[in-house]
Structure 1
Amino acid sequence: MSPNLNPEDIYSQFINQVTDYAIFATDNDGIITFWNEGAHRLKGYTEDEIIGQFFGVLFTEEDRERGLPEEELRVAREKGVYEGEGPRRKKDGSLFHAKVSLTAIYGPDGKQLGFTKVTGDITKKKQLEEEITRRNEDLIQQKAELEKTNIDLDNFIYTASHDLKAPIANIEGLIEMLKQDLTNKKLLDDSSTILLQHVSISVERFKKTIMDLTEVSKLQKDFKESQKKETIQVEAVYEEVMADSGFMFYESPCEVTTDFKVKEIVFSRKNFRSILYNLLSNSFKYQSPSRPCKIAVKTYEEGDHVLLCVKDNGLGLSDKNLTHLYTMFKRFHDHVEGTGIGLYIVKRIVENEGGRIEVVTKENDGTEFKIYFKKEEVTLPV
Structure 2
Amino acid sequence: MNLLHSKESLNSYFIEQIKDYAIFATDTKGIITVWNKGAERIKGYTEAEAIGQYYGILHPDEYQQAGHPQHELEAALQNGSYEAEDWRKRKDGSLFWATVTLTPIFDKKGKHIGFTKITGNITKQKELQDKLAERQQSALEHKNSELQKTNLDLDNFIYTASHDLRSPVTNIEALMLLLKEDLAEANALNDGTEEIVQRVIGSVNRLKHTIEDLTEITRLHKDSEENLSVEIINVQEVYKDILADLNSPGKQKACFMQTDFQVHQLQFSRKNFRSILYNLVSNAIKYQAPERDCIVRIHTHLEEPYVVLRVKDNGLGMTPRQQGQLFTMFKRFHDHVDGTGIGLFMVKRMVENAGGKIEVESEPGTGSEFKVYFRADM
Identify the TM-score tier after normalising by the shorter chain. Answer: 0.5 to 0.7
CA change 1:136–1:365 in 2 (3 A) is farther
Q: State the secondary structure of the residue aligned to 1:306.
A: strand
| 8 Å CA contact retained: 2:234, 2:265 | yes
Q: 1:309: Cα distance to partner?
A: 1.0
Q: Tell me what 1:200 maps to.
A: 201
Instruction: State the Cα deviation string for residues 67-122 of structure 1 (Å, max 9, x = none).
Output: xx8xx569xx9xx96768xxxxxxxxxxxx88544349xxxxxxxxxxxx962577
Q: Tell me what 1:360 maps to.
A: 361
Letter aligned with residue 329 of structure 2: M
Q: Tell me what 1:102 maps to.
A: 90
CA change 1:312–1:185 in 2 (3 A) is closer
CA change 1:142–1:24 in 2 (3 A) is same
Q: Tell me what 1:119 maps to.
A: 119
Letter aligned with residue 90 of structure 2: L
TM-score (norm 2): 0.67
Letter aligned with residue 187 of structure 1: A
| 8 Å CA contact retained: 1:247, 1:284 | no
- Find the aligned partners of 1:260 and 1:294 in 2 and give their Cα distance: 17
CA change 1:204–1:197 in 2 (3 A) is same
Unaligned runs of 5+ in 2: 1-11, 26-32, 50-55, 61-84, 93-116
Instruction: State the Cα deviation string for residues 313-369 of structure 1 (Å, max 9, x = none).
Output: 222221212222111111011111100010011111111211111112223222111
5 Å-filtered alignment, 1:140-159, equals: 140=141, 143-159=144-160
Instruction: State the Cα deviation string for residues 24-47 of structure 1 (Å, max 9, x = none).
Output: 49xxxxxxx9556xxxxxxxxxxx
TM-score (norm 1): 0.66
CA RMSD of aligned residues (A): 4.0
- Find the aligned partners of 1:136 and 1:321 in 2 and give their Cα distance: 39
Q: Tell me what 1:254 maps to.
A: 255
- Find the aligned partners of 2:220 and 2:362 in 1 and give their Cα distance: 27
CA change 1:254–1:332 in 2 (3 A) is same
Letter aligned with residue 333 of structure 1: H
- Find the aligned partners of 1:365 and 1:351 in 2 and give their Cα distance: 28
Instruction: State the Cα deviation string for residues 173-208 of structure 1 (Å, max 9, x = none).
Output: 322343344345443333222211211111111111
- Find the aligned partners of 1:136 and 1:291 in 2 and give their Cα distance: 58
- Find the aligned partners of 1:129 and 1:295 in 2 and give their Cα distance: 58
| 8 Å CA contact retained: 2:24, 2:39 | no
| 8 Å CA contact retained: 2:233, 2:270 | yes
- Find the aligned partners of 2:261 and 2:233 in 1 and give their Cα distance: 13
CA change 1:312–1:247 in 2 (3 A) is farther
1:304 and 2:305 correspond: yes
Q: State the secondary structure of the residue aligned to 2:90.
A: strand
Q: Tell me what 2:235 maps to.
A: 234
Aligned residues: 298
5 Å-filtered alignment, 1:1-382, equals: 22-24=22-24, 56=41, 99-103=87-91, 119-120=119-120, 140=141, 143-246=144-247, 252-376=253-377
- Find the aligned partners of 2:213 and 2:154 in 1 and give their Cα distance: 14
Q: State the secondary structure of the residue aligned to 1:309.
A: strand
| 8 Å CA contact retained: 1:308, 1:372 | yes
Moved more, 172-181 or 338-347: 172-181
The percentage of aligned residue pairs carrying the same residue is 48
